[in-house]
Homo-oligomer: A and B are copies of this chain.
Amino acid sequence: MLRLTKKADYGLMALKYLAEQTDGGARSAKDIAEAYHIPPQLLAKILQTLAKAGLLVSHAGTNGGYALSRSAKEITAFEVIRAIDGPLFITSCITIHGACDLTSTCTIKEPLRKVNDSIKDLLNGIHIGDLVETSEGETGGSLVGGGLVSIAV
């Protein structure tokens, strides 16, 4: 299925929303949740996580909320997904330590690791700023900087 979790989905949507705000003002979790019809408390959790990861700056209290910690062009989709869903592993074989229960028998580990890295590179080439641009205009599929991502497999 190779599926993103809904949380990561929500997180990306929220970041895009924040990127669209031109003034430097913070937006509350509630505002964002209402804009996208996302469960407010769940989104609140996600934003907290993103803040802890350093992608967002939070401000408590009345009129508080969240804002991007950097330019939208400097935040990659990979960072967001990793912050929310944890390390990106395409197979259960690939762990942080690089070893799996079937170390000796699992023979496809290496090839899949390359695929893993490729997807990582792919997501690293996509920035929150790109999501905003493609909303309207659609200047011809230039989602990523050069228009093409070359991935060594």
Q: Which residues on A are within 8 Å of B, measured CB to CB?
A: 1-6, 9, 12-13, 16, 35-37, 77, 81, 85-93, 102, 105-108, 110-112, 114-115, 118-119, 122-123, 125-126, 130-131, 134-135, 141, 143-144, 147-153
Give the residues in chain B near A119, CB-CB below 8 Å: 2, 119, 122
Q: Is A108 a contact of B131 with CB atoms below 8 Å?
A: yes
A135 to B152, CA, bound (A): 18
Give the residues in chain B near A149, CB-CB below 8 Å: 118, 150-151, 153
Give the residues in chain B near A92, CB-CB below 8 Å: 3-4, 6, 9
Q: A107-B135, A153-B125 are in contact. Are A102 and B36 (CB under 8 A)?
A: yes
Instruction: Pick 13 A–B contacts, CB within 8 A, sort by A.
Output: A1-B89, A2-B2, A2-B4, A3-B89, A9-B91, A12-B112, A115-B122, A115-B123, A141-B153, A148-B152, A148-B153, A150-B150, A151-B151
